[in-house]
Amino acid sequence: MTREIQSAKDMEALALEWGFLPFFKNDIPGFSVEEHTAPQCWYGAEDDDWAAWDWKGPVASAGTCVYGKLFWKKAGFVSLEWFPDLANLRRDGYDFDARFDDGLAAYKDKELYDAVAQWGSLQTGQLKKLCGYGGKDGKKGYENCITRLQMQTYLNVADFDYAQDRYGRPYGWGIARYTTPEAQFGYDAVTAAYRRKPEESLRRMLAHLQKLLPQASEIQLLKLLRG
Per-domain residue ranges of the chain:
8-226
Assign 50 a pLDDT band (cuts: 50, 70, 90): low
Task: Tally helices (H) and strands (E) across the chain.
Answer: 13, 6
Bigger pLDDT: 169 or 203?
203
Query: Which pLDDT tens digit goes with each residue over 84-129?
Result: 999 999 999 999 999 999 999 999 999 999 999 999 999 999 999 9
Query: Which pLDDT tens digit goes with each residue over 212-221?
Result: 999 999 999 9
Instruction: Determine what percent of the chain is predicted with pLDDT higher than 90.
Output: 82
41-50, 94-103, 199-208: least confident range? 41-50
Q: Please state the rounded mean pLDDT for residues 155-173.
A: 80
Alpha carbon separation from 120 to 114, 137, 184, 222 (Å, rounded): 10, 27, 9, 32
pTM (predicted TM-score)? 0.93
CA 17 to chain centre: 17
